[in-house]
Amino acid sequence: MTDLLSLKTHTQANASVIPLQYDLKKTTSGIVHIGIGAFHRAHQAVFTDDLIATGETQWKITAVSLRSANIRNIMQPQDHLYTMLERSNEKERIRLVGAIDKVLVAPENPQAVINVIADSSTKVVTLTVTEKGYCRDKSGQQLDVENDIIKSDLADLSAPKSVPGFIVAACKIRQKHQEKLTIISCDNLPSNGDITKKVVLQFAQKVDGNLALWIENNVSFCNSMVDRIVPATTAEDITHTAELLGLEDKSVVITEPFKQWVIEDNFVNERPSWDKAGAIFVKDVAAFEEMKLRLLNGAHSTLAYIGFFMGYEYIHQAVNDEHCLAFVKKLHQQLLSTLDPVDNINLPEYAATILARFGNESVPYKTTQVACDGSQKLPQRLLKPAEILASSGNISQPIAFVVASWCRFLEGVNQQGESFTVIDPLADKLVAVANQHKGAEALQIKHIMIESEVCSSALLENNDFIYQVISYLTLIHENGMRGALVHFNTETDK
Ligand code: CS2
């Protein structure tokens, strides 16, 4: 039987494995991360691991799981050590990561989470809680006071469940000791730090106006752009890793070689020198965020919905299909015209690199993984650029086609007539509406748009855009996705 990776066994790992680059005994703690999924373990935790190895900052990460105990149950017996497998189509690189100190499971002991965020040794809190974790209302800009966990946290803040709840409860303690705090959002939302600030302040205002004021003056909220493709780990990945490592690791992460982290330099206390590990500190992240959200995430969602109906399980299969590829290139052309210049980045080259990254079949990413939570993802990825284009009289046909594909996805039935589950916080309503008006595309689109509020009111009132979406959904219903896509590409080539 293979031994489990742990502090006792890690030095027995096979020779091809890159070992830990520092003495774990010399580390301290300084960072709390909320939302410990595969993405965090392959991104911020790796930047932190590389930073510890430089000897500049010795802070490890106390990670928090907001819901499930799974990852804690897996990592604790491994002394929180894990493996990262970086794969390109040509090679595979395997290394150990030791940056996670412990994992707290919020529902088991919410007070422990409050305490660690409040602790004076904690200087920075990072977040990967997905778009819905910010508990925003449908406008995307305000705290959703009707959200069940927000309501329950506002009624009793002793055992919070929401991100704003935990932060405000911890800041109440920090306020007593006058301990400043820096919070960095690492989710795929534009102005993610500003959004965090807004929901936290709105929440705090309802708890205690004085506390809200203290937070405003003593807590900084950095915007950040994060990028790395990290699919969910599979059982095969774990078996394969055991062979490479010579030890068992159930918390391995599989990822691509590329990684990027652009952080707004807005720290109110000590700043970990993540720049020594390849991150970039800048004054303004907005242009980087929009570039990544539109060109990468927008194209990802596109390949997910279109690829899914063309029978592709993975993004790399979709991007290798000539019709999908031609479509995404057209989409990229339009998206490029909506972007501001970004320092030191050639945008068309950046767009081309993304398509090459999507083609990395050794990091297989499921179309259904990207397709989830469309109502939370599409506004910033594609509808905002559609609105920018429409404001100068340009109706984006590719974006209208993707929106139609998403509406088709909400029917919850594939082209073989088999049902699948739509994962989205608004799924119940959206799937019901999509099916209620099936066969009447105009009504179907209208009701999905109204119910989801993915479009701004200007775009919703733009009859030309909405008409395009309706006509593409009709095309998809009549010809299937492949037929509709070929038709789209031929027509738009003319
Ligand atoms: C993806 C992202 O699942 C998704 O919605 O588009 O997780 C994507 O892989 C990352 O943002 C890449 O940095």
Question: Do residues 163 and 34 touch, judged by C-beta distance below 8 A?
Answer: yes
User: What's the mean pLDDT in 206-232?
Assistant: 98
Distance from the CA of 374 to the center of ligand 1, in angstroms? 12
Question: Residue 352 has what pLDDT?
Answer: 98
Question: Residue 202 has what pLDDT?
Answer: 98
**Whose C-alpha lies nearest to ligand 1, atom 8?**
229
Distance from the CA of 428 to the center of ligand 1, in angstroms? 24
Give the number of the atom of ligand 1 that is nearest the alpha carbon of residue 188.
Answer: 11
Residue 1 has pLDDT above 90, yes or no: no
Which domains occur in the chain, in start order? 10-284 (3.40.50.720), 287-493 (1.10.1040.10)
Residue 451 has pLDDT above 90, yes or no: yes
**Whose C-alpha lies nearest to ligand 1, atom 3?**
370
Distance from the CA of 290 to the center of ligand 1, in angstroms? 14
**Whose C-alpha lies nearest to ligand 1, atom 6?**
297
User: What's the mean pLDDT in 96-125?
Assistant: 98
Question: Residue 280 has what pLDDT?
Answer: 98
Question: Residue 27 has what pLDDT?
Answer: 86
Residue among 186, 260, 297 to mutate when testing ligand 1 (max atoms within 8 A of CB): 297
User: What's the mean pLDDT in 388-396?
Assistant: 96
| pLDDT tens-digit series, residues 371-390 | 999 999 999 999 999 999 99
Distance from the CA of 297 to the center of ligand 1, in angstroms? 6
Question: Residue 39 has what pLDDT?
Answer: 98
Question: Residue 57 has what pLDDT?
Answer: 86
Question: Residue 29 has what pLDDT?
Answer: 87
Using CB distances shorter than 6 Å, the residues near ligand 1 are 188, 227-229, 296-297, 300, 369-370, 377
Distance from the CA of 379 to the center of ligand 1, in angstroms? 15
**Whose C-alpha lies nearest to ligand 1, atom 13?**
227
Residue 185 has pLDDT above 90, yes or no: yes
Question: Residue 133 has what pLDDT?
Answer: 96
For the question of whether the overall pTM of this predicted structure is more than 0.85, the answer is yes
| pLDDT tens-digit series, residues 294-317 | 999 999 999 999 999 999 999 999
pLDDT greater at residue 283 or residue 439: 283
**Whose C-alpha lies nearest to ligand 1, atom 4?**
370
Question: Residue 147 has what pLDDT?
Answer: 96
Question: Residue 493 has what pLDDT?
Answer: 86
Question: Residue 104 has what pLDDT?
Answer: 98
% the chain with pLDDT above 90: 96
Strands in 253-255's sheet, in edge-to-edge order, are 92-97, 82-87, 253-255
Give the number of the atom of ligand 1 that is nearest the alpha carbon of residue 300.
Answer: 6
Distance from the CA of 301 to the center of ligand 1, in angstroms? 9
User: What's the mean pLDDT in 121-125?
Assistant: 97
| pLDDT tens-digit series, residues 47-73 | 999 999 999 889 999 999 999 999 999
pLDDT confidence tier of residue 494, bands split at 50, 70 and 90: confident
pLDDT confidence tier of residue 139, bands split at 50, 70 and 90: confident
Residue 258 has pLDDT above 80, yes or no: yes
| pLDDT tens-digit series, residues 457-488 | 999 999 999 999 999 999 999 999 999 999 99
Question: Do residues 260 and 225 touch, judged by C-beta distance below 8 A?
Answer: yes
Which residues lie closer than 8 Å to 265 by C-beta, 6 or more apart? 222, 271, 281, 282, 283
| pLDDT tens-digit series, residues 7-47 | 999 999 999 999 999 998 888 889 999 999 999 999 999 99
Distance from the CA of 107 to the center of ligand 1, in angstroms? 27
User: What's the mean pLDDT in 100-105?
Assistant: 97
**Average pLDDT of the chain to the nearest whole number:** 97
Residue 121 has pLDDT above 90, yes or no: yes
